[in-house]
Amino acid sequence: MSSIKTSEEKVNQFIEIMSGKPDEKSLVRIRNEKADDKIRDTIRMTPGVQPYKHNYYTSDQFYQRDRSQGLITNVYGQRVLRVTEDFITGLLGGLEEEVGDRAGMVMYETGYAWGLEDMRNFVKRSQGEYEVDFTKMGMGMMLETWWWPLTIEGWGTWQFDFREAKRDMLFIDLYESAVAKTLGDIGAAVCYFYAGLFASVFSVIAKKDFGCVEIQCYAMGADHCRFLISHAERVDAAAFWRSQGATGKDIMKKVKEV
């Protein structure tokens, strides 16, 4: 049986992910006695100590190290693997040796699958931490809450542009890409993992079958990476224009006409 999902099947999966309930196990380390496990329509305002600790984004607070077991876990209890740039270079090089030109697609699909699972965990965790229905969270707050742990884990910083959102076009600017900064200026777009990640995360949030393509990359000499998230027709067109040497700015102009 084919594992390839139709757009309708994907959307049903996105809806299922968005319906997740709070996960108490991931909140044990940040829970305080004021927490009452109730999910509200708005974030509860309480004086003094908050029901859950939110400001845990320093290394000492975010990571917990068990030297006797050789384990590192984050504040949510997830196991973390810390690697060097050599690991990333070796991973990508080994993948290219094994699958050749399909390496980029494999990384995209890996990022897509990782994003789905990350959103599944995030929906449950954020509802519990902020005691509010996920669909009632402000978009800006929700996105920054999702991305901030990735920043401290070394995946870079970002900015999102929703000015064309009504036309199902989103743009993401990524700074300090772990992949592109490792490989340097090699004259090619390399952040396929990020593209897959953004595609699945924003598909879940919008409950639409989106794709994503990197339209400019630090590894192509740009000062940061930029991604387009949209429907397949636009994404495929942007990928074609990039292959023909169009700049990120040129692609942004062209894609608005599609």
Report the chain (258 residues): mean pLDDT per 10 consecutive residues. 74 94 91 91 90 91 93 94 93 95 96 97 95 93 95 96 95 97 94 98 97 97 97 96 94 90
Please state which of the four CATH numbers 3.40.50.720, 3.30.460.80, 3.10.350.10, 3.30.1380.20 is assigned to the domain occupying 7-255. Answer: 3.30.1380.20
pTM over the 0.85 mark: yes
Q: Which segments within 67-182 are labelled E, that is strand?
A: 71-74, 157-161, 170-175
Residue-level pLDDT at 223: 95
- Show me where the domains of the chain are located: 7-255
CA distance 255 to 211: 14
Residue-level pLDDT at 3: 58
13 and 5 Cβ atoms separated by less than 8 Å: yes
125 and 26 Cβ atoms separated by less than 8 Å: yes
